[in-house]
Amino acid sequence: MEEPSHAGTWYTPAKYVTSPRANATDDIVDNALHRPDHEAFARKVDGGWRTVTSREFADEVMALAAGLMAAGIAPGDRIALMSGSRYEWMLCDFAIWTAGAVSVPVYETSSPAQVEWILRDSGARAVFVEGEERARVVTAAGVDSVGEVWRLDGGLGRLLELGRPVPRELVERRRRAVGAAELATVVYTSGTTGRPRGCLISHGNLVAEVRNVAAADRITENVLTDRTTLLVFLPPAHVLARVVALAAVHNGAQVAHTSDLENLTTELRTYRPTLLLAVPRIFEKLRNTAQRTAVAGGHARMFRAAEATAVAYSEALDQGGPGLWLRVRRRVFDRLVFGKLRAALGGRVAYACSGGAPLGAGLGHFMRGAGVTVLEGWGLTETASGVTLNLPTAQRVGSVGRPLPGCAVRIGPAGEVLVKGPNVFGGYLHDEEATAEAFDEDGWFRTGDVGELDDGYLTVTGRKKDLIVTAVGKNVAPAPLEDRLRAHWLIDQCVLVGDRRPYIGALITLDPEFLTWWGREHDRSWAGGVAELRDDPELRSAVQAAVDEANRTVSAAESIRRFRILSRGFAVGEELTPSQKVRRGYVTAKFAADIEALYAPPG
């Protein structure tokens, strides 16, 4: 049972205590022994999905680990992984751990300078890469410690052949020698500011995280069952995608991968997952696409009514249940709108997990009312992913849930969220000063997020460093208003500015897909880019209407007084992190002239 220790602190007792001998590979060995024929994975082969059993996967992992050992990989060596979401990622990750080595994930969108830094800082001995282009980037980095570069397409066969003479007993002995205290992975923060730092995450951190997620109320029974199918399309270098996949393996769910985001709808419709893992932008796009389709078909009023019904229905679920008339309205809109939305996800998704950025209460209620319950959680790279999670039996839409078993959350000075738990990392690689600063005198990890606790439910209002203090001393958390603006189908990204300025301004980027449709509807061409259209009176009027609607939810001092439409959108690796978080420092520096224009005298 949850235990509020004192005001501002909430602890959920652990339901699992990690054995000192446990490591992250135990699950695949147990699965191969106890459910060898279970279809544990689905991999893309020749345009279709081919299943891989628990026994087949364990055998592949052991064979690849033998190849690593034969190639001279020793316990504790660092091996980097640089690819999109695919079956071979998990295969290599488990093989690295089985060989006693440490995996170092690298985002495929990383710049050459970032790749060089991560390989050099981690002391990587070898690298698994996807594609010739990334292999060239790794080679060009010229990091002396890197002795091998193995291609996921074609290079694994050479390793498997190399490992054939290695006895399986020797591989198993190497695997068992790894304990909970041993380092499992060095995960570099994607870095909304500054150079990425390597977070030291142990096998014990991963095991505790996975076991306590599985032990959370009704997760194993409702969300991650042995009949669950999960499609992972987030970058596997992101700790959220990695840990959820590990939890799925632990619970016997089936895991499939794709990195083909351009054809994600097709992938969802062919694989038909029952569980979806996504960042909020995916859900925003889903709703906005449905809205645009309705507007294009002359059904804008119907969509607005459907959206209002979904939100009201979801809110009623938390207040004694919806009445008869609301249930009838929802059934009508289920046929007209919601069923099509679920079909776009494959038609079988009942639950979705969201993390990496705030979801927003409005979007959460809309999705639940439309038939997909989004369980929003919260965590950081330093906490091996989740610290809190909404559960099927304990959900408060708009919050990020209560602490998972074994985790404690405290609201510290200035509203900063502090964390303790067996999933909290061991520190930053080669940075003792930053490690010391990350913890307070009582051992609580300083997350840098600002939030509030109410009956154990955590609401994160933003980052400490993102807080805007206007010239008149008004403190403004930008995230809530930005979330509301991004809910509009025409707006892709929004960044509030105004630190030490007389009022709040906004930098806005437009969704190119929806802008194309808007241009057709209003007989406008933007072949030369957004710059051609951004001063169009009708377009600005449409954006102003979205700003006015968002402003209704805040005080006058917090409202957006002026906005500027930027000439191009944000890109991952530049203005955005791989998990779609805005790099505010980068944006404010790059678009300094646009910010100054927001505060220039009109005329």
- DSSP, collapsed to helix, strand or coil, labels residue 45 as strand
Cα distance from N-terminal residue to C-terminal residue, the chain: 62
Angle separating helix axes 280-296 and 300-317, nearest 10 degrees: 140
Q: Distance between CA atoms of 16 and 241, rounded to whole angstroms?
A: 22
CA angle 176, 97, 127 (to 5 degrees): 150
Model pTM score: 0.89
Q: Distance between CA atoms of 97 and 119, rounded to whole angstroms?
A: 18
Q: How far is CA 574 from CA 109, 199, 509, in A?
A: 10, 22, 14
Provide the pLDDT for residue 453.
97
pLDDT tens digits along 391-439: 999 999 999 999 999 999 999 998 999 999 999 999 999 999 999 999 9
The kind and range of the H/E element at 509 are: strand 504-510
Could you please report the per-residue DSSP string of 135-175?
A: HHHHHHH--TT--EEEETTTHHHHHHHHTTTS-HHHHHHHH
Q: Distance between CA atoms of 167 and 159, rounded to whole angstroms?
A: 15
* Closest among 597, 590, 589 to 565, alpha carbons compared: 597
Q: Distance between CA atoms of 163 and 355, rounded to whole angstroms?
A: 39
Provide the pLDDT for residue 2.
53
Determine whether domain 24-178 maps to CATH 3.40.50.300. no
For the chain, state the CA radius of gyration.
24
Q: How far is CA 39 from CA 149, 234, 544, in A?
A: 31, 22, 52
The kind and range of the H/E element at 483 are: helix 479-486
pLDDT tens digits along 171-200: 999 999 999 999 999 999 865 456 789 999
Q: Where in the chain is the domain with CATH 3.40.50.12780?
A: 24-178, 276-464
- At 598, list the tokens: 């927001």
Residues of the chain with pLDDT under 70: 1-7, 190-194, 526-528, 603
Strands of the sheet with 39-45, listed across from one edge: 48-53, 39-45, 254-257, 229-232, 275-278, 351-354, 373-380, 385-389, 402-403
- Answer yes or no: are the C-beta atoms of 360 and 377 closer than 8 Å: no
Q: Distance between CA atoms of 361 and 367, rounded to whole angstroms?
A: 10
Percent of the chain clearing pLDDT 70 (strictly above): 97
Q: Where in the chain is the domain with CATH 3.30.300.30?
A: 467-598
Indicate the CATH number for domain 467-598. 3.30.300.30
CATH architecture of 276-464: 3-Layer(aba) Sandwich (3.40)
The kind and range of the H/E element at 505 are: strand 504-510
- Torsions phi, psi of 85, nearest 5? -75, 115
Percent of the chain clearing pLDDT 90 (strictly above): 77
Provide the pLDDT for residue 557.
85
